[in-house]
Amino acid sequence: MPYLDVTAAVIIDKNKVLAAKRSPGKHLAGHWEFPGGKIEPGETPEQCLKRELKEEFTIESEIGEFVTESIFDYGDKRIRLLAYKVKHLSGEFQLIDHDEIRWLPIEELDSLKWAPADLPIIEALKQQAKAQPTAEFYSNNAKAYYDETLTNDVNHVCDRFLSTLSSTNSGKQHILDLGCGAGRDSKVFIAAGFTVTALEASKELALLAEKHIGQPVLNMRYQQLQTKNTYDGIWSCASLLHCPKSQIEYVMQNCIDALKEGGVFYFSFKYGEGERLDARGRFFNDYTLKSLKTLIAKLGKLEIIDVWLETIQSKNAEQIWVNGLVRKVCESGRGAVKDML
């Protein structure tokens, strides 16, 4: 039985989330849900949500970043629920398909009886709320972090990335430095003659990086990346490690979409399992060699160049890092990932 693609709106206002109760006579009547509906032929998920919210509540909305995916089998149908953050722009809420709405903090959403397919969205929101202080850390400690990381030596990995990139395509190539931090690596790439687009979520760090590399830095989150077939290489050194597991496949798939065919993608994570907060309160999504290869295999359109461990000395302590270097290939080139699992 194929999946039915549907959408869900996580509407947040003043740190409270909208929950809507399904009306009597409907499937799962009396259960609460994140409003949304079935994606019609030719619609994107974002277009579907805007239409559904207009039809269900008579409101105008702005669709934001992806939250998570939930797959559930109700027996008579299997659905793939795609949840997005949504901003209410205008219009009063009119209850057309629901008989009640409530605004609740994330930590109180569990007090309601939810449709089963919506429960993973609540768990994802909880996890992503834990990751939020990470952004605040980099904003509040931008200069200290800039000074701390500017001289870190990752040149041997940069050289490996650039040599792989140079062997793949000809001409002047375009690199996306995804989460550029202080701009340390962007400066290396620019000096080597590459065109570089640097992206950094922290406004304060982005401004410092701009001064360091001598060109503008995009101030945006990697969850917002929507570019297609643009870059010859994407460099994500110690940045995707702050992306929750509920979003990592979506973010990495967007990175793959942003690569040209044959493009090279480098990423690094700290060694471990699961998600955690460090002593500074920063959120981390850790991987082992096996779990990182499993993640890569889920994405498709990739062949593994190498996945390796590296131990470095940092602040008088050893840190183990998991590194991945992959190449985007055409559909006929799929299968190389499975051979390495």
Whether 196 and 177 have beta carbons less than 8 Å apart is answered as yes
Each residue of 199-211: b (16+ CB within 10 Å) or e? bbbbebbbebbbe
The first and second tokens of residue 219, run together, are 């101030």
Ranges of residues in the chain whose predicted pLDDT is under 70: 167-171, 315-316, 330-341
CA distance 125 to 197: 30
* 85-119 per-position pLDDT tens digit: 999 999 999 999 999 999 999 999 999 999 999 99
The first and second tokens of residue 309, run together, are 């461990």
Whether 248 and 285 have beta carbons less than 8 Å apart is answered as yes
The pTM (predicted TM-score) of the whole model is 0.81
* 243-295 per-position pLDDT tens digit: 999 999 999 999 999 999 999 999 999 999 999 999 889 999 999 999 999 99
CA distance 73 to 189: 47
Output the furthest CA–CA distance in the chain (Å, rounded). 65
